[in-house]
Amino acid sequence: TEQSPLAEPSVSAWMIGDTEADILAGQALSIPTIALTCGIRSQSYLKRFEPTHICSDLLCATSYLLELSRAVGSTELAL
pLDDT of residue 72: 81
Q: Is the pLDDT of residue 44 over 90?
A: yes
pLDDT of residue 71: 87
More reliable by pLDDT, 76 or 63: 63
Concatenated DSSP letters of the chain: -B---S-PPP-S--EEESSHHHHHHHHHTT--EEEETTSSS-HHHHHTT--SEEESSHHHHHHHHHHHHHHHT-S----
Domains of the chain: 15-72 (3.40.50.1000)
